[in-house]
Amino acid sequence: MFTTVLVANRGEIARRIFRTARSLGLSTVAVHSTAEARMPFVDEADAAVELPGNTPGETYLRAELIVEAAVRAGADAVHPGYGFLSENAGFAQAVIDAGLTWIGPPVDAISSMGSKIEAKKLMAAAGVPVLAELTPAEVSADDLPVLVKASAGGGGRGMRVVTELADLPGEIDAASAEALSAFGDGTVFCERYLAAGRHIEVQIMADQHGTIWAVGERECSIQRRHQKVVEEAPSPLVERIPSMRSSLFDAARKAAAAIGYVGAGTVEFLADDAGNFYFLEMNTRLQVEHPVTEETTGLDLVELQLAVAAGERLPADPPPTIGHAIEVRLYAEDPLNDWQPQTGTLHRFEVPLGMRVDSGVEDGSEVTPYYDAMLAKVIAAGSDRRAVARRLAAALEQAKIHGVGTNRELLAWILRHPAFVAGDTDTAFFDKHGVGVRTDDAVVRVSALAAALADAAGREAPVRVPSGWRNLPSQPQRKSYRVGEVVHEVAYRMTRDGLVADGNVRLVESAPERVVLEVDGVRRSFDVAAYDGLTCVDSSLGSVALSPVERFTDPARQVAAGSLVAPMPGTVIRVGVQIGDKVTQGQPLLWLEAMKMEHTIAAPVDGVVGELTVEAGQQVEVGAVLAVVGEEA
């Protein structure tokens, strides 16, 4: 039995594995990039080794550095987590060659599933239903729409939907380039695209003695950019078609047996509403969404991984699935702005009690542009699916998340959406229903008023006379806040009769961190937290992040008209124009990569590229001027 486990990963999955390892009396070792030296997962390990650098290519994707770190720290086992090198057969072999225990499947099993093209051939031979593979050269108009996929891919990288035959060559080139950057392999293939399919997966667990479990199924149909957002167990579709579960489990066990699988893995399928399903891929690792299976079976899947790696036997049958569990992925991103990643200091991170929170962050954590945008997974479980969804939505709405924009409003909106409540979800959910609603202007206005009153209360102490108080009517106090691109101005006066402001608002009490207002006869409390350049207001109406607008603009912060500025820190991966080129509004000019996602920077107006300040491979900070498009001279 091994005694010390190095986790070749970061963030929430590293913390998750450490938690189980500690409960079993095992020592733990973390590896970390330079940028993450003070992250929670590093502090929680018994020992830590720095991998010099910041980007994944410099750190978490360097197999030789991780194996060296394990040997140096005295680890005798390596757990890969998910992502990074978790499905890299070469890394698994390097761990074994170093005399360490690999907590994962056999190297041959990883290799056989590492190529989606070869995996589909193996599965077809094993009797598992598959979608026919199309080589790019043989795709015709009758085959459209098709999905271009990276053979070595995952997480939506190297994936493109093509609806016009003329677009196919360009999309293949783009998908291949992205796959090469992400996985070191630019091989792509095509398959028929089911625009409104259901993404169903089966958790498997197999030991070294021939026992293979199918440990329940999960549904992960709600996705953005082919990446999962909401996951649940069991699947509403499978629940509705009872015969489907046994067929799914049988196919998943066949898939595992065909490659001599050992350990935890997931067999993913694409299904239609009639219950027909087709093999997508097999993830030879622990899945991000494994908590919903744990919450409905009582299993600790990480503990089982460790036991199987140590040679222990599984019981003949897995426990039954009881109740329902839903997991949402809390991302640092802006869904209303093309899912743009958000970076910065997470000043506060607090989710109400009663939820399972698997998180890589805490108060004060720095969210960098180098890694995936997921901050945490929030999971609720119970006996009734609708009640679970309702509780989880309420917890998200009540959470206090300050400093970094997230998708939590979108997640709560999904959980309350009639289609989700009815179990009517598929991979086209956002195409059908949009991406939620913006915060109501009335909520922003009253929250901004609360922020202004809290600010005034903080500045007036210990003076007894309120800020802005006048014995006779005078000019109102004014303060402006920015939400996105919109500026909201607050105007109010404090008189001998109390607060005078727009609307039917009465001030009950105010303090620097809490304001109580009566709005249209309804009393509400507003918790106010002020940080440098940011004020966060939480109430039963929702959470609002406000940026105070300075009265005088620093000239150094002004940029020329027509400037394209970086919306986030990232790396310029491609430049599509040169100085002097004529461009049209909306034309893609540059491409940025940040948080494992590719983002297009387009021309704001028709004109000519007058300045170009960056080149491919260059790192840029948020707000940096990338190019300037001006009128033709």
Nearest to 515 by CA among 541, 497, 496, 482: 541
pLDDT of residue 19 exceeding 70: yes
- Read off the tokens for 593: 């990569």
Q: Is residue 17 situated within a structural domain?
A: yes
Looking at the structure, tell me whether residues 205 and 268 fall in a common domain: yes
pLDDT tier at 291, thresholds 50, 70, 90: very high
Looking at the structure, tell me whether residues 309 and 418 fall in a common domain: yes
- Record the pTM: 0.88
- Pick the last residue of a domain from 103, 131, 157: 103
Q: What is the pLDDT averaged over residues 198-208? A: 98
Name 511's Cβ contacts closer than 8 Å, sequence gap at least 6: 454, 457
Q: Is residue 421 situated within a structural domain?
A: yes
Looking at the structure, tell me whether residues 358 and 260 fall in a common domain: yes
pLDDT tier at 485, thresholds 50, 70, 90: confident
pLDDT of residue 301 exceeding 80: yes
Phi and psi angles of residue 325, each rounded to the nearest 5 degrees, phi first: -140, 145
pLDDT tier at 134, thresholds 50, 70, 90: confident
Looking at the structure, tell me whether residues 386 and 259 fall in a common domain: yes
Least confident of 2-16, 115-129, 250-264, 374-388: 115-129
Looking at the structure, tell me whether residues 333 and 457 fall in a common domain: no
pLDDT of 25-72, one tens digit each? 999 999 999 999 999 999 999 999 999 999 899 999 999 999 999 999
Name 97's Cβ contacts closer than 8 Å, sequence gap at least 6: none
Looking at the structure, tell me whether residues 369 and 261 fall in a common domain: yes
Alpha carbon distance 202, 194 (integer Å): 20
pLDDT of residue 181 exceeding 80: no
What pLDDT score was predicted for residue 438?
Answer: 79
Alpha carbon distance 241, 236 (integer Å): 9
CB 204 within 8 A of CB 248: no
Indicate which CATH number applies to the domain containing 598. 2.40.50.100
Q: How crowded is the C-beta side of 222, counted as CA atoms within 13 Å?
A: 29
Phi and psi angles of residue 375, each rounded to the nearest 5 degrees, phi first: -90, -40
Q: Is residue 27 situated within a structural domain?
A: yes
Alpha carbon distance 298, 216 (integer Å): 12
- Read off the tokens for 277: 């399903």
Q: Is residue 167 situated within a structural domain?
A: no
Indicate which CATH number applies to the domain containing 508. 3.30.700
How far are the Cα atoms of 134, 153, 182, 251, 457 from residue 113, in angstroms, in the given order?
A: 18, 11, 17, 15, 62
pLDDT tier at 86, thresholds 50, 70, 90: very high
pLDDT of residue 556 exceeding 80: no
DSSP string, 129-150: -BPPEE-GGG--GGG-SEEEEE
SS3 content of the chain, % helix, strand, coil (to 5): 30, 35, 35
Q: What is the number of structural domains in the chain? A: 4
- Pick the last residue of a domain from 548, 576, 597: 548
Looking at the structure, tell me whether residues 428 and 448 fall in a common domain: no
Residue 100 DSSP symbol: P
Q: Is residue 370 situated within a structural domain?
A: yes
Nearest to 545 by CA among 348, 328, 331: 348
More confident residue, 325 or 437: 325
pLDDT of 399-429, one tens digit each? 999 999 999 999 999 999 999 999 999 999 9
Looking at the structure, tell me whether residues 258 and 396 fall in a common domain: yes
- Pick the last residue of a domain from 378, 409, 433: 433
Indicate which CATH number applies to the domain containing 290. 3.30.470.20
Nearest to 451 by CA among 473, 425, 480, 428: 480
Q: Is the dihedral of CA 248, 251, 254, 258 positive or negative?
A: negative
SS3 283: strand
What pLDDT score was predicted for residue 630?
Answer: 86
Alpha carbon distance 595, 457 (integer Å): 39
pLDDT of residue 565 exceeding 60: yes
Name 448's Cβ contacts closer than 8 Å, sequence gap at least 6: 479, 481, 488, 490, 537, 544, 546
pLDDT of residue 454 exceeding 90: yes
Looking at the structure, tell me whether residues 448 and 385 fall in a common domain: no
Q: How confident is the prediction for the chain on average, in pLDDT?
A: 92
pLDDT tier at 117, thresholds 50, 70, 90: confident
Alpha carbon distance 300, 201 (integer Å): 18
SS3 42: helix
Least confident of 196-210, 422-436, 523-537, 618-632: 618-632
Phi and psi angles of residue 390, each rounded to the nearest 5 degrees, phi first: -65, -45
Q: Is residue 112 situated within a structural domain?
A: no
Nearest to 130 by CA among 122, 139, 140, 138: 122
Looking at the structure, tell me whether residues 537 and 570 fall in a common domain: no
Report the percentage of the chain scoring pLDDT > 70: 95
pLDDT of 330-384, one tens digit each? 999 999 988 988 999 999 999 999 999 999 999 999 999 889 899 999 999 999 9
Indicate which CATH number applies to the domain containing 60. 3.40.50.20
Residue 627 DSSP symbol: E
**CA–centroid distance for 43 within its chain:** 23
CB 517 within 8 A of CB 526: yes
What pLDDT score was predicted for residue 464?
Answer: 56
pLDDT of residue 471 exceeding 70: no
Q: How crowded is the C-beta side of 613, counted as CA atoms within 13 Å?
A: 14
Looking at the structure, tell me whether residues 544 and 560 fall in a common domain: no
Q: Is residue 576 situated within a structural domain?
A: yes
Strands of the 498-501 sheet, one edge to the other: 498-501, 486-495, 477-483, 542-548, 534-539, 522-531, 514-519, 505-511
Domain of residue 574 covers: 555-630
Looking at the structure, tell me whether residues 380 and 330 fall in a common domain: yes
What pLDDT score was predicted for residue 307?
Answer: 98
Q: What is the pLDDT averaged over residues 235-255? A: 97
Maximal C-alpha separation, the chain: 88
Nearest to 446 by CA among 483, 405, 406: 483
Q: Is residue 485 situated within a structural domain?
A: yes
